């Protein structure tokens, strides 16, 4: 079991964000404290799950990944995936391109090019550059890894659909340009990941179904 993180009004990070952004402060007051567990499973399995989920709904991605788990007898590891044929991987519902991506990451782990231990020692930028150098790992997957596996505090997932939906609700905007988002959210630094977690929670809890009102 991974380390449990609890964020509430007494947390310095929350106090900082509330001081810097009154709109986010309102969301934090509506949600209250949040608790999350730092990912403590196999990072390879996380990456394969994210590759499968790319461009799919969470439900569809989880369903396909569960089939891969079954193919691997309950544990998705590089050695087990390496033994599967392309046809076996395609049979669970993955596209040809994703079969290629899964092969790329699997081979990189097996030959030592992708060393998860070394990622922990790198800064955010170097982790991002290293991960995205492998076929199948794009900006979205790298950002998810930084936030949810490495628990880095200042990652802004500007290309994540769930984040964007909540961001548009919070700021009453339809401008999804990377420049605009980074400019509006620069006040969150150095805790962009924590702010993002609150936006994810706002979406998951249904808050975004109602129009955002700052003073209501």
CATH of the domain at 14: 1.10.1670.40
State whether 130 and 76 are in the same domain. yes
Q: Is residue 58, in this structure, part of any structural domain at all? A: yes
Model pTM?
Answer: 0.93
* Predicted pLDDT at 41: 87
State whether 61 and 159 are in the same domain. no
Per-residue CA distances from 6 to 10, 32, 45 (Å): 10, 11, 25
Identify the domain containing residue 92 by its residue range: 43-149
Helix (H, G, I), strand (E, B) or coil at 20: helix
State whether 90 and 174 are in the same domain. no
| Token code pair at residue 54 | 């790319």
State whether 130 and 164 are in the same domain. no
Question: How many domains does the chain divide into?
Answer: 2
State whether 124 and 160 are in the same domain. no
* pLDDT tens series, the chain, 216 aa: 678 999 999 999 999 999 999 999 999 999 999 999 988 889 999 999 999 998 888 899 999 999 999 999 999 999 999 999 999 999 999 999 999 999 999 999 999 999 999 999 999 999 999 999 999 999 999 999 999 999 999 999 999 999 999 999 999 999 999 999 999 999 999 999 999 999 999 999 999 999 998 876
Longest dimension (CA), the chain: 58
State whether 91 and 124 are in the same domain. yes
Cβ pair 200, 166 in contact under 8 A: yes
Q: Is residue 108, in this structure, part of any structural domain at all? A: yes
Q: Is residue 214, in this structure, part of any structural domain at all? A: no
* Predicted pLDDT at 121: 96
């Amino acid at each position: 079991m991974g380390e449990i993180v609890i964020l509430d009004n007494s947390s310095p990070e929350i106090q900082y964000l509330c001081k810097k952004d009154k709109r986010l402060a309102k969301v934090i007051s509506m949600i209250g404290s949040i608790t999350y567990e730092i990912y403590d499973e196999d990072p390879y399995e996380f990456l394969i799950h994210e590759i499968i989920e790319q461009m799919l709904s969470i439900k569809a991605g989880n369903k396909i990944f569960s089939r891969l788990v079954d193919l691997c007898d309950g544990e998705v590891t590089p050695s087990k995936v390496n033994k599967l044929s392309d046809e076996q991987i395609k049979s669970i519902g993955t596209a040809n391109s994703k079969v290629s991506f899964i092969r790329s990451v699997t081979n990189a782990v097996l030959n030592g090019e992708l060393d998860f231990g070394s990622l922990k020692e790198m800064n955010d930028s170097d982790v991002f550059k290293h991960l995205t150098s492998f076929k199948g790992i794009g900006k979205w997957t790298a950002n998810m890894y930084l936030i949810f596996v490495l628990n880095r505090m200042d990652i802004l997932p500007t290309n994540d659909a769930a984040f964007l939906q909540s961001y548009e609700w919070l700021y009453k905007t339809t401008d999804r340009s990377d420049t605009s988002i980074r400019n509006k959210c620069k006040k969150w630094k150095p805790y962009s990941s924590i702010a993002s977690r609150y936006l994810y929670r706002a979406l998951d809890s249904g808050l975004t179904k109602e129009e955002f009102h700052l003073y209501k």
